[in-house]
Structure 1
Amino acid sequence: MKRAYLDNAASTPIRNEVMQVMINTLKYSLGNPSSIQHSYGREARSILEESRICIAKNVKVSPNEIIFTSGGTEANNLILRSSVLDLNIRHILTSKLEHPSVLHTISDLSIRYKISVNFILNDEKGILDFNNMEEILKKNISKKTLVSLMYVNNEIGNLLEVDKVIFLCKKYNAYFHSDTIQAIGNIPIDMEKLSFDFATASAHKFYGPKGIGLAIIRSHILKKIKPFITGGVQEYGIRSGTENIHGIAGLSEAIRLSYCNFPSYIKKIQNLKSYCISELKKIISNIIFNGLSHHSEKSIPSILNFLYPTKKDHLLYFHLDLMGVAVSKGSSCNSSIKKISHVIQSITDKSLLNKTMPIRISFGIFNEKEDIDSLINALQKIRK
């Protein structure tokens, strides 16, 4: 049975080219990048820094603004915790639609360090209320504030209106952290033009390896950040420990390939999404799409989220899996079988959730129309 993998927002398949780079690095790069007394160490160091330069070139930042981490969750933790401990942040402004690695970390910081936290209001489509955001910033003008909002929502695909956020952060002298984990490597992003103070990325979201990511911290802020992991001088002294060279090389190659061929990649994903929307409308009358995921200009092309009319059946996703179709109900970092995600709960009426189940479809470069046909056929069989 040919299987249809439609959960690329959770993790993407690794590209063959990326795999080959990693294999070569594992096979031929023997040294520790901190052992620069000999050629083996210097060669490893060269791979490390060339990868950093390649990534920086593609996302338009300075190489010295990139800190390699074990993934997006660690990168978000590094930024949020360092902001409180080293930048004296006393107030955090975020939304209830953020990734658990942001929400849970902010909750922990608020308890440990008595940080005040506010949540920007959102409507039933997940659109943030920027008047409310400004009101909160104005009321807390005396506190050093960090605004933390994701660039692309990982469940409903909404694109953040970053220009409005940047404007308000500048107006009220607040730092701006954006979880860009679903954005970097999947849509064109120019950090040179965007006034983010902090951003994050994870390689396995754009056809690279798991277990490697990065934090982007602007150079004027990086000088103020103290060690997050102690015990060495790696990553400018912020994150001690021998770097994951083959993972970093894989991350670099994955991001290079993504930015090489963006126009055709995005066109393919958009066509798949449009086809999927069209086919879903044929089998589900009055289908309800979550957030702005069905809007071509207001959401990322790769994510589509909708409510599937059915009795409360938490085995729905397993039924689909048995039919060869892999989808999800939301974030893989919040994957309790019975619990509906906090994002869907925040934007959907409870009475509606009693008679529907959310399904997140996320497309990737290896998907074809046949994968969507498999999904549609499986949904029809389940309904019968």
Structure 2
Amino acid sequence: MERFVENPDFLQELFLEEAWKNVDKIDGFIEFKANTEEFEVTAEEVNSLYRTMHSIKGSAAMMGYPAISETAHAAEDLFSYLREESAPAQKDLQTILQLLRMVSGFLKRELRRLETDDEVTDFGWAVVRRIKNFLSHVDSENEPEGPSYQIAYTRKGKKRIPYTNFEALLPQMDRLAKVMGRELKKEFTVKISGADTEVPRDIYDKVSMAVLQMMKNSMDHGLESKADREQMGKTPVGEISVEISKAAQKVFVAFRDDGRGLNRDQILQKAKEKGLLKKPESEYEDSEIYAFLLRPGFTTKASATLFSGRGVGLDVVNAAVASLGGSIRIESREYMGTTFFMEFPVVDEMHAEG
């Protein structure tokens, strides 16, 4: 048995409130379609349900509820299938409806367990297997021949490459800013440019996780309080921005805040105390010094807070970036802000080999 990760009450309450609303949307769709013997699913409905399930997955992953996030992740594949199939067979639509009933039932049961602090079962994995078995079946039935097959499938196991954009990330950023702003008594604005950039879903998942983790670090001890900002001649509201682009089979992400910036000397001193220096201090470039922050357990904070200071933030970001074959670079100006530049290789579906 696995127990839910413990989270501050206010975070859990926010998660539950939003999760119940999203499950209600899924149930509304199921009830509406179940009343007809034959039905169609519009592109608008598919996109709306995909965003709903994606919100559940992202929030659950951030809270540390893997059974919920993995089940929602598998359900996303159903909507990816519907996005790609212009005219799915009625029997397949009926099966998808049954699978969504299972997903909804599991989610509602686990949300109730959260409310009562009960244990999590592994029933979610059974739902995931049912979804994967269905998608494997329809893929084998609908497997096309010729060049178009190479576009729709990858070489690895002839499986579809699910693509998505970053439109669902901004609401998650807004929620996190709202929650942390209330607890830290700070104000933040968040924005994304390039949210319509399409990437493979594994890149989206890792980038989203990285952005939310960097937000937590930035809002906790990067961005100043309203009073401090006004004293420094800054706008009272802290600013966080994310810029996403894709070119030459690479995805570029820049995360910026206009906070107090990084203290180069403090980071260097901590690295020295930990025995991490491999050459004289004077030979270290700023980028090399900032890179120490990406090491596991490295933090310059004297004590941990609710949100950070345990040295398990930016190293997780670095691990996620590295797992995609990407790289991360940090630039900072003290009192002006910090920017994290990330880039990842991406193979476009149109270039995938058969």
TM-score range, shorter chain: under 0.3
Q: Compare relative contact order (CA 8 Å, sep 6+) and give the higher one, 1 or 2.
A: 1
Q: Indicate the structure with greater helix content.
A: 2
- Which has the larger Rg? 2
TM-score, normalised to structure 1's length?
A: 0.25
TM-score, normalised to structure 2's length?
A: 0.27
